[in-house]
Amino acid sequence: MEQMKSYIISYDLVGPARDYESLIDKIKSYSTWATPLESVWLIRSRKTAGEIRTDLKATLDSDDKLIVIQHKDDWASKGISKTVSNWMHDNF
């Protein structure tokens, strides 16, 4: 079985509908996640970045923007909640 990897997801919803709820629900369907910033999510998954993008794309309008980046191991933050910072220490 494929090993769990860490990903950073960021998006800009620019379409007139801006269906944040559907996108956020889809991101939360991944069992391990955190949200350090309003439009930035951190997840763990066995899927590839492309598979995650395809998963999330179903909730987006054609002019919305999305990026999924596999995270390796180095990070730093400022002003992030202790809960999210702890999550990042445990998962990134």
Global pTM value: 0.86
What is the percentage of the chain residues whose pLDDT exceeds 90?
67
Q: Quick: pLDDT tens for 14-51.
A: 978 788 999 999 999 998 999 999 999 999 999 999 99
d(CA 13, CA 4): 28
CATH 3.30.70.240 fits 5-82, yes or no: yes
Tell me which H or E stretch contains 51. Answer: helix 49-57
d(CA 49, CA 17): 25
- CB within 8 Å of 61: residues ≥ 6 apart: 13, 14, 15, 16, 17, 19
User: What residue spans define the domains of the chain?
Assistant: 5-82
- CB within 8 Å of 25: residues ≥ 6 apart: 59
